[in-house]
Structure 1
Amino acid sequence: MTTEPAKTPEVAAAPPLGGPSGRKRAARGRRSLLTRRDRFTLAVMAGAPTLLHVALVWVTALASIALAFTTWDGIGLDAISWVGLRNFRQLFTDNPQFWPALEHNVIWFVVLILIPTPLGLFLALQLDKNIRFSRVYQTAFFLPVVMSLAVIGFVWQLVYNPDTGLINSLVGANRPGHYIDWIGNPKLNLWAVLIAASWRHTGYMMILYLAGLKSVDPTLREAAALDGASEWQTFRSVVFPTLRPTNTIVLVVTIIESLRAFDLVFVFNKGAQGTELLSILVTNNIIGESSRIGYGSAIAVVLLTISLAVIIPYLVATFRKERRA
């Protein structure tokens, strides 16, 4: 007599993890990792900076654009009156300071792109050779970048001091009747400020180019050396073409730096004759004695338009490159 084997209860096969039930279980597992307190903390950490950014940047920018078409002395909202394009017509035709200020911003850009930018590239090329104490040199050259512009202005004020300044002492112009007023002379003060700005900008460019040099393939340099190329030929044919993205960033950064220049000039002489800049005109009209907020906002809109004309093409080109990648 044969006995039948005991029947084992059938166990339903679990659905694959990739199926709908598996995805739901994985989603529930992920959700359980964040408690209500964690979600609240993340909301506060992400929401507070976003609200501050919107309030301090976007709202104020939109308010400045709206005020550019009005006249307002800053006292009472009922004093705001719509004037249309009158502020802009006044700005381009009846303001003797606007065109000199715009010219000074252009000079600022030309000087920064021709002097500290090549000098920063030269320093980056030397430090990229892994010379001794390269970290010390990098820190020394980059130190002005992390310093406050107000501190830099104060330091260079001491250098340019007519009585006890370093430059006048070296050239012997610190005697009575032989003083050189580097800050008060309208023919000299802009160039004096530009020397201080170039001192800071050189370290900024050096760091940008040092980062760009890391993308240069060492094998290309070795191949050029094997072909008998000199150091200059290697730089011209191998290194510099590789730095094309870095050069674009350097150009955009330099344009923005030349447009937003304010701190150094204000610390030196508050934008006196010879150092007028667009940013100084904005400040003088909005918080100055005249309190022409609508007129100052019109200058700010012009400054914003010039900045966007540079930034938007750069962003478009960057996004296109990322999509192609």
Structure 2
Amino acid sequence: MTVLQNTPRTDPTPPARKGRRRATALSGTDRIVLILMVGIPTLLHLALVWVPTVSSVLLSFTSWDGIGDLDTIKWVGIRNYADIFTAYPRFWPAVQHNLIWLVFLLVLPTSFGLLLAVLLDRKLRFTKIYQSILYLPVVLALAMVGFIWQLMYEPNLGLVNNLLGIANDNPVDWLGDSDINIYAVLVAAGWKHTGYVMLLYLAGLKSFDPSLKEAAALDGASAWQAFWKVTFPVLKPINVIVLVITVIEGLRAFDIVYAINRGRNGLELVSVLITDNIIGESSRIGWGSALAVILLVISLGFIITYLVQVFRREDRA
């Protein structure tokens, strides 16, 4: 009689581990690369943005000509701000011009750029050519735009007066007349700004879900109702970007007016006053820094107010 012994069965495959450590430790080289990739941009940002900003805020409360040693810096408190608001005749006209600049860019070039984006999104023939032509002014510097339009506004040989037929008979001095030159320059600045806004909105429309338009059409909505009720609300992130860029462009405008007549005779802007006081003949670093802080506060006021309104509406929804 043979007795069979039960031998334990061996499984050739080892049991699975309960868990594996997926995170791998960084090597020394990886740590150095990570530190350099994060540290260098951070240091550059601090050195080129925050250090000058904080320095300008501090210098705005001082009196310094920028030539003497740091020991010659005198603390004057808010006297620079008080003098700017009450005893600087160029300040309020410059603020008015900046506000006109901002409102113009927000109303006309922004609306026209949105209109062009909607038209080009309909896949017209030669759309790429139209985009290239309309975007071409964006790649030009504002100083170059000012030079081009300076030639176009020339009273006798310029394109504008010749198209109007008044080049030889009572020509209009578009840039020399202080009553109209700000609006003539705004047309040139809007020519550049329209292409940029068009590109931003066109990118937003390209990522738009076409099924939403089809659903609106099935519900009997007209083209205008579909755009205003469906398309435009979806473009809210693009609207925020366009607003921020437009506010920055409207308040920091400098190149084009400085290239035309150094920002004088009706083209005074706050940025021009900053330049004149810091590197101009007067060389008042405290005044120039105070003007820069005022311009910064005005810019942040527009942007923060709009962002707060947007976030409140999202929280309510």
The TM-score bracket by the shorter chain reads: 0.7 to 0.9
Q: Percent identity?
A: 55
Return the alpha-carbon distance in structure 1 between the equivalents of residues 255 and 88 of structure 2: 23
Return the alpha-carbon distance in structure 2 between the equivalents of residues 36 and 163 of structure 1: 70
Matched, 1:59 2:35: no
Measured against aligned partners, the alpha-carbon deviations of 1:39-93 in whole angstroms (never above 9, x if no partner) come to 3333333322221111111000000000000000001211100000100000110
Unpaired stretches in structure 1, ≥5 consecutive residues: none
Paired residues for 1:110-129 under 5 Å: 110-129=103-122
Matched, 1:298 2:300: no
Unpaired stretches in structure 2, ≥5 consecutive residues: none
Residue 161 (structure 2) aligns with: 168
Matched, 1:235 2:227: yes
Paired residues for 1:55-204 under 5 Å: 55-75=47-67, 76-175=69-168, 178-204=170-196
Distance 1:123 1:103, change over 3 A: same
Secondary structure at the aligned position of 2:299 is classed as: helix
Secondary structure at the aligned position of 1:224 is classed as: helix
Measured against aligned partners, the alpha-carbon deviations of 1:240-296 in whole angstroms (never above 9, x if no partner) come to 333344333323322222111111111121101211111111111111000011011
Letter in 2 for 1:162: P
Return the alpha-carbon distance in structure 2 between the equivalents of residues 224 and 254 of structure 1: 31
Return the alpha-carbon distance in structure 1 between the equivalents of residues 236 and 7 of structure 2: 78
Secondary structure at the aligned position of 2:160 is classed as: helix
* Cα displacement (A) at 1:206: 1.0
Residue 307 (structure 1) aligns with: 299
Distance 1:322 1:242, change over 3 A: closer
Q: Normalising by the residue count of structure 1, what TM-score does the alignment of the two structures yield?
A: 0.85
Distance 1:87 1:235, change over 3 A: same
**1:215, 1:242 within 8 Å by CA — same for their partners in 2?**
no
**2:142, 2:189 within 8 Å by CA — same for their partners in 1?**
no
* Cα displacement (A) at 1:164: 2.4
- State which of 37, 40, 55 in structure 1 corresponds to 2:32: 40
Distance 1:6 1:317, change over 3 A: farther
* Cα displacement (A) at 1:161: 2.2
Return the alpha-carbon distance in structure 2 between the equivalents of residues 87 and 269 of structure 1: 27
Residue 256 (structure 1) aligns with: 248
Superposed CA RMSD in Å reads 3.0
- State which of 215, 219, 223 in structure 1 corresponds to 2:211: 219
Return the alpha-carbon distance in structure 1 between the equivalents of residues 240 and 37 of structure 2: 34
**1:193, 1:268 within 8 Å by CA — same for their partners in 2?**
no
- Name whichever of 254-263 and 99-108 sits farther off: 254-263
Residue 276 (structure 1) aligns with: 268
- Name whichever of 125-134 and 38-47 sits farther off: 38-47
Return the alpha-carbon distance in structure 2 between the equivalents of residues 291 and 310 of structure 1: 30
Secondary structure at the aligned position of 2:147 is classed as: helix
Return the alpha-carbon distance in structure 2 between the equivalents of residues 320 and 2 of structure 1: 85
The alignment of Structure 1 onto Structure 2 pairs a total of residues equal to: 314
Secondary structure at the aligned position of 1:212 is classed as: helix
Distance 1:94 1:276, change over 3 A: same
Return the alpha-carbon distance in structure 2 between the equivalents of residues 259 and 136 of structure 1: 32
**2:80, 2:286 within 8 Å by CA — same for their partners in 1?**
yes
Return the alpha-carbon distance in structure 1 between the equivalents of residues 207 and 7 of structure 2: 71
**1:124, 1:207 within 8 Å by CA — same for their partners in 2?**
yes
Distance 1:6 1:232, change over 3 A: closer
Distance 1:231 1:4, change over 3 A: closer
Letter in 1 for 2:104: V
Letter in 2 for 1:209: Y
Return the alpha-carbon distance in structure 1 between the equivalents of residues 104 and 201 of structure 2: 18
